[in-house]
């Protein structure tokens, strides 16, 4: 059975997850997290991808990325896969794969779900019972967004910037978002869309994407045959790529 074509849209945020092979560890020491961050920074600059949020867990990573070219995301992830696996295999004198076959990604509605995805990503260590509060986990973007710690990986999304007129009011507003956990409906929507490679957000956002793609981006629906049109979505968002053979 052929794999579902990945959806990528230039100028739209993508929630990305990549897991270790057989859910095994991918980071073993502090130096490994630093090496991955270094490769992520290099790759993001090389392939013109904006990193808005991230968390590096022991056996998987979550990223919130806006690619500015139609193949930027896939090229970034290939670069990361190659560079970091080479590093791990050299340092630990191992061979073979480190990550499971394909990374997973979903399109994110900026107006409805962007900040929910920030929270989903940065609360991962709390949900995993690794720490009690997101600020207690070292390998995420929370300290940058909520506490103002410099992080060379992060390129702030305009909706994050719009949280306040000054850096301090912005950080305070962001911290306020974390007073409560995400509700079950939000968690389900984010997880389902990510695992199935769909879109998460308002129905209008999904309608716009489906009109352009001529296929369904909702769970449990057959592909929809529609005439492609540029109506209702920006020219930048029209830049699409179906990555049938992505490894």
pLDDT in tens, 103-150: 999 999 998 899 999 999 999 999 999 999 999 999 999 999 999 999
Q: Which H helix or E strand runs over 196?
A: helix 184-196
Distance CA 80, CA 36 (A): 8
**Rounded Cα gap, residues 58 and 98, in angstroms:** 12
Q: What is the pLDDT of residue 2?
A: 52
The model's confidence at residue 3, banded by pLDDT at 50, 70 and 90, is: low
Q: 55 and 154 in contact (C-beta within 8 Å)?
A: no
Supply the pTM of this predicted model: 0.86
Higher pLDDT, 246 or 163: 163
Residues 6+ apart with CB under 8 A from 42: 79, 83
- How far is 76 from 198, CA to CA, in rounded Å? 20
Calpha distance 134→122 (Å, rounded): 6
pLDDT at 221: 53
Minimum mean pLDDT among 13-17, 132-136, 226-230: which range?
226-230
CATH code of the domain made up of 7-200: 3.30.70.1290
Radius of gyration for the alpha carbons in the chain, expressed in angstroms and rounded = 18
The span from the CA of 221 to the CA of 7, in Å, is: 16
Label residues 63-72 b or e (16+ Cβ within 10 Å = b): bbbbbeebbb
Residue 153 pLDDT greater than 80, yes or no: yes
Sequence spans of domains, the chain: 7-200
Please state, in angstroms and as integers, the Cα–Cα distance from residue 215 to each residue in 4, 60, 102, following that order.
11, 29, 21
**What is the C-alpha to C-alpha distance for residues 130 and 55, in angstroms, rounded to an integer?**
13
């Amino acid at each position: 059975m052929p794999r579902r074509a990945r959806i990528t849209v230039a100028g739209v945020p993508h929630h990305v997850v990549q897991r270790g092979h057989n859910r095994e560890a991918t980071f073993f020491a502090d130096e490994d997290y630093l090496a991955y961050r270094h490769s992520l920074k290099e790759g993001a600059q090389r392939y013109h991808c904006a990193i808005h949020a991230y968390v590096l867990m022991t056996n998987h990573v979550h990223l919130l990325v806006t690619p500015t070219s139609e193949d930027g995301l896939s090229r970034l992830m290939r670069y990361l896969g190659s560079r970091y696996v080479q590093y791990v295999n050299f340092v630990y004198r191992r061979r073979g794969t480190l990550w499971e076959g394909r990374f997973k990604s979903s399109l994110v509605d900026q107006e409805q779900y962007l900040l929910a995805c920030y929270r989903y990503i940065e609360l991962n260590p709390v949900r995993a019972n690794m720490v009690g509060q997101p600020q207690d986990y070292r390998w995420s973007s929370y300290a940058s967004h909520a506490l103002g710690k410099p992080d060379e990986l992060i390129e702030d999304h305009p909706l994050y910037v719009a949280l306040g007129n000054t850096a301090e009011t912005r950080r305070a507003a962001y911290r306020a978002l974390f007073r409560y956990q995400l509700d079950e409906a939000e968690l389900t929507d984010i997880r389902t869309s990510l695992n199935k490679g769909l879109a998460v957000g308002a129905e209008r956002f999904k309608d716009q994407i489906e009109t352009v793609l001529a296929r369904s981006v909702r769970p449990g629906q057959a592909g929809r045959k529609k005439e492609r049109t540029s109506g209702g979505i920006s020219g930048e968002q029209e830049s699409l790529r179906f990555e049938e053979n992505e490894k």
